[in-house]
Structure formats: structure tokens, C-alpha cells
């Protein structure tokens, strides 16, 4: 069965894994009765694949399974089944350094037995790296309106319009990322990243209690800081912190650790701790940990 497409529309013809089998992009059709298609009722994981191996697989699976349970989703495929499917897809696409996305939808309401829908996509890494990631330092602006994620902000859901628009704002401004600030004036995260600032030798990041995503790379930075004996903790950060921060960096599973050279046009004086963490993160990836 082929997709009914609007005139002029093109879908990528790359293979994808959908509900148990490999299909071409053009045949990768989701029912319009699936709550993932109609209502943004889906959760997903975006993983970096290094030399054919997904980085931090276990943590990504934990977040996916936890979100599915907390949001009352039907039962998703088991992590073992998802790993087999991912390996099958990577092999079919001959991809070694890549970005994979695993999406689980709430499925069709009222079905028995109730199962989620699920698909996996993968594409070469190179096309997904931000200009700043390729350069080694990134740039960002503050989103000019208050952002209120609500409790869904703690989950990686497909209800992404507000975050996607923030990302598009960043692109239109010619920077890597837009930083989100809540109505009380506190820094939250980036449109697709977590944010850290450095003050008096301490690494600080907004608390999860502000409904930011518990990023996988964020969690890793906490671990790396511990290993490097760099103090690191959650702290409420007023948006104005970017005027006094000595340095700041972003984290994301694909971009890894990205030290910021500029925020809102201001050059940050230093990048040393961000660069140290970026190197430590890379070393961990290369060690296959
Ligand atoms: C809103 C938001 N915050 C943070 C992150 C970083 O999460 P992770 O480190 O798991 O990639 C992402 C990733 O896309 C995101 O969309």
C-alpha cells in the first residue's frame, strides 16, 4: 500500500522499521486512527550510533519505558526486540555512524490487545550535526517569549510544536540553539538540548523540577563531572545568568557536549570546562562505554 500524499509532497525513500518489518519510506504508513498520528500521542528516543553501536542504549531504554508507563501508554516492544530491530535496520542501511530515532505511539484507541505502534528510522550522522558541533563551539539566543513546558516537558514526546518552533527561531537567527526561559524568568533548557553554566568553578544546570527533559547527555555530564572532580549540581538560574556566566555549554545525545562561544551576541569569556567535558564525553564514547 502506498501513502496518499498531497500534490508535490516527497517522502524520504530510506528504509525504516515499522511494526515488525522493514519498509521503504514511501510505504511507511501510520493509521490516521493511531493517537500518535492524530494527537501527538507518542514518545521517542534519538540515539547516536557510533561504529554501529548505539551510545547509552540502556539509559535511552529506561527513559522510554519509564515515560510509557508514567504516561499510561500501552506496552511498547521490549528493549531486546527494539535492539534487534535497530540492528536489522542499521545493517540494511549499511550505517555505522548515524542517528537513530525510535518512536512509540499510543496506538489505536479501544483495540484489544492494546499495543503501541512503533517505528525506527536511521540516517547518516553527518547531516545531523549542528554547525557549532562541527566547529567545536556553538552559539545561542534566548527565545523572546516565556516558555511553559508543563509536565510533558519531562518526557520526550512527539507533541513537539513549541520546541520545534524554538528550534526554527534559532535557525532563523543563524545560531545553533534557542534557550528557553519560563514565565518566572528562569532558564529551562534549549529547544533540543540541556544547558549548563559555570560560576566560580561550579557547573550548574536547571533542575528537572522545572519540567525540563532528563537528558541522557545531561546525566552523563553529572557522571563525568564526578569523575573529573568538578562540582556539578542543579540550581535555579535566572535568565540574566548569561550576562555573568563565565562559560556555558549545551548537551544532547547527538551533539554531545557543545561549549557556547556566544549567547545572545555576548562572547562568553571561557570554554575550558565545556571543552574538558566534551573531550571526556568523546573518550567515553570511543572506549565503547
Ligand atoms: C527539549 C530537549 N531537552 C534536552 C534534550 C537533550 O536530551 P538528550 O541528552 O537525551 O539527547 C533534547 C533532545 O532532543 C530535547 O529535545
Parallel, antiparallel, or unpaired: how do β-strands 232-234 and 202-205 relate?
parallel
| Pairwise CA distance, residues 93 & 136, whole Å | 28
Closest CA to 231 of 259, 196, 283: 196
Name the closest-CA residue to atom 3, ligand 1.
Answer: 193
> What average pLDDT does the segment 7-34 reach?
86
Between the alpha carbon of residue 57 and those of residues 54, 70, 210, 287, the distances in Å are 6, 20, 26, 15
| Pairwise CA distance, residues 237 & 185, whole Å | 9
Q: Whose grid coordinates read 527533559?
A: 213
Averaged confidence pLDDT in the chain? 93
Grid coordinates of 270: 571561557
Q: Report which ligand 1 atom has the smallest distance to the Cα of 189.
A: 3
What is the structure's pLDDT at 112? 61
Percent of the chain with pLDDT over 90: 81
Contact 143, 131 (CB under 8 A): no
Nearest-10 crossing angle of helices 79-93, 57-70:
130
Lowest-confidence range among 83-97, 99-113, 200-214? 99-113
What is the structure's pLDDT at 109? 83
Interval between CA 216 and ligand 1 midpoint (Å): 8
11 pLDDT more than 90: no
| Pairwise CA distance, residues 96 & 268, whole Å | 35
CATH class of 16-127: alpha beta
Q: What is the pLDDT of residues 220-268, one digit of tens each?
A: 999 999 999 999 999 999 999 998 899 999 999 999 999 999 999 999 9
113 pLDDT more than 60: no
| Pairwise CA distance, residues 156 & 77, whole Å | 17
Strands (E), the chain: 16-18, 21-23, 42-50, 53-54, 98-105, 117-124, 138-142, 177-181, 187-190, 194-199, 202-205, 232-234, 247-252, 256-263, 266-267
Q: How many beta carbons lie within 10 A of that of residue 244, not counting itself? A: 9
Q: What is the pLDDT of residues 160-175, one digit of tens each?
A: 999 999 999 999 999 9
Q: Report which ligand 1 atom has the smallest distance to the Cα of 46.
A: 11
> What average pLDDT does the segment 176-196 reach?
98
For residue 260 and ligand 1, the question of a CB distance below 6 A is answered with no
| Prediction pTM value | 0.94
What is the structure's pLDDT at 75? 86
100 pLDDT more than 80: yes
216 pLDDT more than 90: yes
What is the structure's pLDDT at 117? 86
25 pLDDT more than 90: no
Interval between CA 172 and ligand 1 midpoint (Å): 20
Task: Kindly report the length of the chain.
Answer: 289
Interval between CA 221 and ligand 1 midpoint (Å): 13
Interval between CA 26 and ligand 1 midpoint (Å): 28
Task: Give, for ligand 1, the residue of 58, 220, 253, 281 to mutate: max count of ligand atoms closer than 8 Å to Cβ.
Answer: 253
What is the structure's pLDDT at 5? 66
Contact 172, 166 (CB under 8 A): no
* Paired strand residues for 179: 142, 190
| Pairwise CA distance, residues 171 & 131, whole Å | 11
What is the structure's pLDDT at 111? 65
Name the closest-CA residue to atom 13, ligand 1.
Answer: 192
CATH fold match for the domains 16-127 and 131-286 = no
9 pLDDT more than 70: no
Name the closest-CA residue to atom 7, ligand 1.
Answer: 215
Q: Give SS3 for 117.
A: strand
Q: Where are the domains of the chain?
A: 16-127, 131-286
Contact 176, 139 (CB under 8 A): yes
Q: How far is CA 113 from the centre of its chain?
A: 31
> What average pLDDT does the segment 111-119 reach?
75
Contact 40, 238 (CB under 8 A): no
DSSP state of 158: S
Interval between CA 112 and ligand 1 midpoint (Å): 33
For residue 48 and ligand 1, the question of a CB distance below 6 A is answered with no
| CATH architecture of the domain with residue range 131-286 | Alpha-Beta Barrel (3.20)
What is the structure's pLDDT at 1? 45
93 pLDDT more than 50: yes
Q: What is the pLDDT of residues 188-207, one digit of tens each?
A: 999 999 999 999 999 999 99
110 pLDDT more than 70: yes
What is the structure's pLDDT at 3? 59
289 pLDDT more than 80: no
> What average pLDDT does the segment 73-94 reach?
95
| Pairwise CA distance, residues 77 & 45, whole Å | 14
For residue 205 and ligand 1, the question of a CB distance below 6 A is answered with no
> What average pLDDT does the segment 90-116 reach?
88
What is the structure's pLDDT at 7? 72
Amino acid at each position: 500500500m502506498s501513502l496518499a500524499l498531497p500534490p508535490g509532497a516527497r517522502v524520504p525513500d530510506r528504509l525504516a522499521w515499522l511494526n515488525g518489518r522493514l519498509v521503504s519510506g514511501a510505504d511507511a504508513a501510520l493509521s490516521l486512527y493511531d493517537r500518535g498520528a492524530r494527537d501527538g500521542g507518542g514518545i521517542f528516543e534519538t540515539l547516536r550510533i557510533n561504529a554501529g553501536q548505539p551510545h547509552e542504549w540502556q539509559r535511552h531504554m529506561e527513559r522510554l519505558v519509564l515515560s510509557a508507563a508514567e504516561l499510561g501508554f500501552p506496552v511498547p516492544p521490549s528493549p531486546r526486540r527494539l535492539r534487534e530491530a535497530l540492528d536489522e535496520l542499521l545493517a540494511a542501511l549499511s550505517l555505522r555512524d548515524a542517528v537513530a530515532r525510535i518512536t512509540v505511539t499510543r496506538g489505536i484507541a479501544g483495540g484489544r490487545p492494546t499495543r503501541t505502534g512503533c517505528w525506527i528510522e536511521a540516517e547518516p550522522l553527518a547531516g545531523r550535526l549542528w554547525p557549532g558541533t562541527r566547529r567545536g563551539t556553538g552559539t545561542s539566543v534566548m527565545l523572546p517569549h516565556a516558555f511553559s513546558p508543563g509536565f510533558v516537558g519531562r518526557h520526550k514526546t512527539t507533541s513537539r510544536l513549541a520546541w520545534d518552533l524554538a528550534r526554527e527561531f534559532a535557525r532563523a537567527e543563524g545560531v545553533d540553539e534557542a534557550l528557553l526561559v519560563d514565565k518566572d524568568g528562569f532558564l529551562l533548557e534549549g529547544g533540543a538540548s540541556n544547558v549548563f553554566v559555570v560560576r566560580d568553578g561550579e557547573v550548574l544546570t536547571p533542575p528537572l523540577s522545572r519540567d525540563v527533559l532528563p537528558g541522557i547527555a545531561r546525566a552523563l555530564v553529572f557522571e563525568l563531572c564526578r569523575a573529573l572532580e568538578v562540582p556539578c549540581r542543579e540550581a535555579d538560574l535566572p535568565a540574566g545568568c548569561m550576562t555573568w556566566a563565565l562559560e556555558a555549554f549545551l548537551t544532547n545525545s547527538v551533539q554531545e557536549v557543545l561549549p557556547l562561544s556566544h549567547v545572545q551576541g555576548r562572547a562568553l569569556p571561557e570554554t575550558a570546562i565545556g571543552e574538558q567535558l566534551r573531550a571526556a564525553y568523546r573518550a567515553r564514547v570511543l572506549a565503547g562505554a
